[in-house]
Structure 1
Amino acid sequence: MKRIHVAAAVIRSADGLVLIAKRPLDKHQGGLWEFPGGKVEEGEAVEAALARELLEELGIGVTAARPLIQVRHDYPDKQVLLDVWEVTAFSGEPHGAEGQPLAWVAPAQLPDYAFPAANRPIIAAARLPDRYLITPDGNSPQQLLNGLARALDASIRLFQLRAPSLSRADYRALAADALAMCAGRAQLMLKGPLDWAADFPAAGWHLTAGQLRQHAGQGRPVPAEQWLAASCHDAEELAIATELGVDFVTLSPVLPTPTHPGARPLGWSRVAELLQGFNQPAFMLGGMTSVHLPDARQAGAQGVAAIRALWPEPA
């Protein structure tokens, strides 16, 4: 069965809302919501197909777009490749040119709408930023909170609270304070024993590679509404992450890094190969800075994750 190549768009308004459209009842997956777009014709460039479809469906001209994520999904009756681009600027006023209902939705509310199954990774990608800050070890709880405050002011919106040198009691107390600080402003990911996850329902949970392998075959360990991430280093771990239903991963090490001098870096070509068959958002980790964002996107990643490069030092 030939895989149908579809160009789709996460269209953002100036105030950050995302445009979605309802599928006609007489079409495949009719009545569900979708990200606008359509089929890529034989020999047609994806960006050209996207521009054509959005003009036909919504009456808008694309003026700024970049690749966001590719998703391969097999329905019982068809196989699709969703080639998703993020559109951040356009001309014209979007309207349902084919009579389809439209809605501008806050990213956090996207899970409240019924989408085809293939769209789940797109919803995650639409909700996630392009930078993932991992807190540095060796700081006191107060130093970490001060750094989080500076990072929030610098528009970082996704954090992993990593503090392996703290005691369990100190980490849990810090997590509660950090969650209060991030409320309404950013998503906080915690690490530690999975039985803690129920105590922090507003936090996401980031699995170590060891935890990932330990829970292989056991299904998603946290509720669907709670973010779940995992640290991955190879194709096997990416496959386990997919089976567990994670929402996103870090993939490392991409480049040489002083924190793991003995680790063999993957390099950009291997990263691109690994992500070719992976359907979830992925943050590149290891030697990354914001300068590497274009390289990460070119390889098919959501963005970059980093410790020192994203951690704002005191003025």
Structure 2
Amino acid sequence: MKRIHVVAAVIRGHDGRILIARRADTQHQGGLWEFPGGKVEEGEAPRLALVRELREELGIEVEAARPLIKVQHDYPDKHVLLDVWEVSGFSGEPHGAEGQPLAWVTPRELPDYEFPAANQPIVAAARLPDQYLITPEGLENGELLRGIQRAVAQGARLIQLRAPGGYDPAYRDLAVDAVGLCAGKAQLMLKGPLEWLGDFPAAGWHLTAAQLRKYASRGRPFPTERWLAASCHDAEELALAEQMGVDFVTLSPVQPTHTHPEAQPLGWEQATHLIAGFGKPVFLLGGVGPDQRQQAWDSGAQGVAGIRAFWP
């Protein structure tokens, strides 16, 4: 079955809200919400297809857009490649030129709307920022918490409380304070044994590669309302993350790092190749910082993750 190439747009307004459209009842997956876009014509460049589709469908002119994520999905009756772009600048007032209802929704509200199954990774990508801060080791608790507070004040929206010394009670106490600092401002991702999950309902969970290998066959350990992430280093671990139903991953190390000098770096070419076959948001980690964000986007990644380059 031939794969149908479709462009879709995560269109952001000045207030950060995202534009979605409702599919006509007569369409494939009718009645569900979607990100605006349409089919790429034979020989047409995806960006040009995006510009054409949004002009025809919404009456707007795209002024600023970048690749966000590519998702392959196989429905029983058709195979699609969703080529998704983030549109951050446009002119004109969007309207349903084909009579389709539109809605501007906050990223937080997106999961309240029913989308086709192929759109779930796009919903995740639309809700996630392009930087993922991982806390450093070797700091005393007060210093660590002050750093988290500064990071949140500076706009950090996704923070992992790293647990380098294993899973001890001190980490749990620290996690309670970190959850409080992030509440309503940033998404905190914790690490630790899955037995702790029930103690931190507001936090997401970031699995180690060892946990991924141990638990992947059991599937997702909690409902989709909570963020689930995993650390991956190769194609096998990415496949396990897919099996477990994670929302996003870190892929590392891209380049040599101070923290793991012994690890063999993937390099940009291999990282790009691995991302292309995955289809969920990927943060590149290891020897990268904010300056590599564009290169990460060009590789198909959601953005960059790091410790040293991001710590305030």
Give ranges in structure 1 of 5+ residues lacking alignment. Answer: none
Correspondence 1:272-283 to 2 at 5 A = 272-283=272-283
Q: TM-score, normalising length from structure 1?
A: 0.98
| Contact 2:60/2:92, CA 8 A, preserved across alignment | yes
The Cα offsets for residues 224-266 of structure 1, whole Å up to 9 and x where unpaired, read as 1110000000000000000100000000000011111111100
Q: Distance in 2 between matches of 1:310 and 1:100?
A: 42
Structure-1 residue corresponding to 2:236: 236
Structure-1 residue corresponding to 2:302: 302
Answer yes or no: is 1:110 the counterpart of 2:114: no
The Cα offsets for residues 55-86 of structure 1, whole Å up to 9 and x where unpaired, read as 11100000000000000000000000000000
Structure-1 residue corresponding to 2:46: 46
Q: Distance in 2 between matches of 1:58 and 1:297?
A: 26
| Contact 1:110/1:123, CA 8 A, preserved across alignment | yes
| Contact 1:68/1:86, CA 8 A, preserved across alignment | yes
Note the C-alpha offset of 1:163: 3.3
Q: Distance in 1 between matches of 2:3 and 2:33?
A: 21
Q: Distance in 1 between matches of 2:138 and 2:254?
A: 24
Q: TM-score, normalising length from structure 2?
A: 0.99
2:253 is paired with a residue of what secondary structure?
Answer: coil
Structure-1 residue corresponding to 2:129: 129
Answer yes or no: is 1:89 the counterpart of 2:89: yes
| Contact 1:138/1:163, CA 8 A, preserved across alignment | no
Give ranges in structure 2 of 5+ residues lacking alignment. Answer: none
Going from structure 1 to structure 2, the CA distance change for 1:167 and 1:124 (only over 3 Å counts) comes to closer
| Contact 2:20/2:102, CA 8 A, preserved across alignment | yes
1:246 is paired with a residue of what secondary structure?
Answer: coil
Note the C-alpha offset of 1:166: 7.6
Q: Distance in 2 between matches of 1:46 and 1:184?
A: 37
| Contact 1:134/1:162, CA 8 A, preserved across alignment | yes
Q: Distance in 2 between matches of 1:49 and 1:87?
A: 13
| Contact 2:160/2:188, CA 8 A, preserved across alignment | yes
Structure-1 residue corresponding to 2:12: 12
Q: Distance in 2 between matches of 1:167 and 1:111?
A: 32
In structure 2, give the amino acid aligned to 1:29: Q
Note the C-alpha offset of 1:216: 2.3
In structure 1, give the amino acid aligned to 2:245: G
Q: Distance in 2 between matches of 1:262 and 1:187?
A: 31
| Contact 2:163/2:192, CA 8 A, preserved across alignment | no
The Cα offsets for residues 195-224 of structure 1, whole Å up to 9 and x where unpaired, read as 111111110000000000001211111221
Q: Distance in 2 between matches of 1:172 and 1:24?
A: 49
| Contact 2:158/2:187, CA 8 A, preserved across alignment | yes
| Contact 2:179/2:188, CA 8 A, preserved across alignment | yes
| Contact 1:9/1:35, CA 8 A, preserved across alignment | yes
1:264 is paired with a residue of what secondary structure?
Answer: coil
Note the C-alpha offset of 1:307: 0.3
Structure-1 residue corresponding to 2:120: 120
The Cα offsets for residues 143-187 of structure 1, whole Å up to 9 and x where unpaired, read as 111000111122111000013338622211111111111111100
RMSD, matched Cα: 0.9
Correspondence 1:1-315 to 2 at 5 A = 1-165=1-165, 168-312=168-312
The Cα offsets for residues 31-62 of structure 1, whole Å up to 9 and x where unpaired, read as 00000000000000100000100011100000
Q: Distance in 1 between matches of 2:224 and 2:153?
A: 29
In structure 2, give the amino acid aligned to 1:9: A
1:210 is paired with a residue of what secondary structure?
Answer: helix
Q: Distance in 1 between matches of 2:50 and 2:60?
A: 11
| Contact 2:73/2:118, CA 8 A, preserved across alignment | yes
Q: Distance in 1 between matches of 2:164 and 2:265?
A: 23
In structure 1, give the amino acid aligned to 2:300: G
Worse-superposed segment, 82-91 or 166-175: 166-175
Q: Distance in 2 between matches of 1:101 and 1:275?
A: 34
The Cα offsets for residues 5-31 of structure 1, whole Å up to 9 and x where unpaired, read as 000000000000000000011110000
1:226 is paired with a residue of what secondary structure?
Answer: coil
Going from structure 1 to structure 2, the CA distance change for 1:167 and 1:247 (only over 3 Å counts) comes to closer
Q: Distance in 2 between matches of 1:164 and 1:261?
A: 16
